[in-house]
Chain A
């Protein structure tokens, strides 16, 4: 069956370190992948999009990689800050034009 897996356990890291979040998928052939941030009580906010023919994408302190052989995307936040604490969702676009979301990983950055 088709699955998108993100770490269900919270990731706790110290301020200034690099946070790395993982998104693994099975039985999909995504055209591209997106990452969103969601704060409690709010809707998801788009962060980055990476296409299947791109290996890496950067935006300020954010970096996303996409390995279609491993069926995995990694999301990095460098020099993390307490304000980066949130839930991060990955989402795949399939050939059916749907955006399928993972369940998200909660990141907690402590001072």
Chain B
């Protein structure tokens, strides 16, 4: 298996622009997680899905952030409009449980976002 796939790997954009990050989870996994990592705040959970349904989005910073999972093999995280403080590495992870209670999570390589 190719593991969790994220695209793009790097994104540089100007403040105010829309940014879309993409994730393909491991085939057969039914939970998907979006994280953001910064030096200051570490690794933070933004939102997670189970069977394509959003379960907990309380980590989403504000209305500028939205996430979708239209099917079991694809998810997007959108930031509109982007701001310099959104600069971070965004990770997608998947697991084969009904949530993080039972099984380990497999992380993608991350998308490094820079907003100027």
| Interface residues in chain A, defined as those with a beta carbon under 8 Å from any beta carbon in chain B | 31-32, 34, 41-46, 49, 89, 93, 96-104
- The residue on B at minimum CB distance from A98 is B45
Decide yes or no whether B106 CB sits under 8 A from chain A. yes
Consensus secondary structure, chain B interface: strand
| Interface residues in chain B, defined as those with a beta carbon under 8 Å from any beta carbon in chain A | 4, 33, 42-45, 48, 55-56, 59, 91, 93, 99-101, 104-110
Chain A residues with CB under 8 A of B45: 98-101
Chain A residues with CB under 8 A of B42: 101-104
CB pair B93 A43 closer than 8 Å: yes
CB pair A97 B108 closer than 8 Å: no
CB pair B101 A93 closer than 8 Å: yes
Known: A43-B110, A99-B105, A101-B42. 11 other contacts (CB 8 A): A31-B101, A32-B101, A43-B93, A44-B105, A46-B104, A93-B100, A96-B56, A98-B45, A98-B56, A103-B42, A104-B43
